[in-house]
Amino acid sequence: MERWSEEVLHDDLHTRIKIDRLLFDSKTEHQRLVLFESDTFGRVLTLDGVVQTTESDEFIYHEMMAHVPILAHGRARRVLIIGGGDGGMAEEVLKHGAIEHVTMVEIDAGVVEFSRKYLPNICKGAFDDARLHLVISDGAKFVAETDERFDIVIIDSTDPIGPAEILFTEPFYANVRRCLAEGGVIATQNGVPFLQSDELSSTLAAFRKLFRDATCYLATVPTYVGGPMAFGWASDDASLRRLPEGELERRFAAAGIETRYYTPAVHRAAFALPPYIEDMIG
């Protein structure tokens, strides 16, 4: 008998992925964690029934959320990742040899240990990199209390449900701003605008109260259905998202990293927004 994983994140759209092999189904301290294999998507991780990542297309999400702010900044040395328990974001960030320190704050230790064991093709040894400092804690509490400053802050959160809900609020973003070094950049996960317009518009409304420059950029990730996915962008330096493609090419070549989705041309194009999203964010 065929088994399917059905996601009911959206009221008017349910999606299903065929479970070819169920590998794990258990509750951690914070959420239900399920891992299964799909002949199309590889290993698929869901938390409380919502798909978080798949082996086949995680590179799109992680490359665009990591390399866009790092290469736009150009001099980043210290990076803060909120969430990202699967290790994929840290793996992409740590590809940059110029990055000296990465602090990753993940609320659920169970997700990290699980990813080490079951998702090695995503984390790829990132948790063993000496530059990575793993903190098991509430991300909102961390940014409210830390004295550290970071060039890049990446909010690799789940959707604003349960433990991640606070990570989409203005007080949280204000504390993130406090953690940014001068000229720093924040990048956020903001869902699929066509289906989750409030998630993006509320984040951008908060950003525009806190930063001189705030917008979003886009990438198409097959797993996250309903149109392109949005990544929030905020900085006090508006020039960072307007870099010429030639300068991005120079920085990309100097970084010496290999990518499957990100290119300097894709980087530039990702900030070109269709009118329905421009209208959404005002």
Q: Which residues does the annotation mark as catalytic?
A: 156
Phi then psi dihedrals of residue 125, to 5 deg: 80, 5
Q: For residue 62, what are the CA distances in angstroms to 125, 170, 189, 208, 233?
A: 15, 24, 10, 25, 15
How many alpha carbons lie under 13 Å from residue 270 in its C-beta half-sphere? 32
Contact 194, 226 (CB under 8 A): yes
The residues pairing with 101 across neighbouring beta strands, listed in sequence order, are 78
Contact predicate 239/217, CB 8 Å: no
Cα separation, 56 vs 42, whole angstroms: 6
Edge-first strand order for the sheet with 50-54 is 21-27, 32-38, 42-47, 50-54
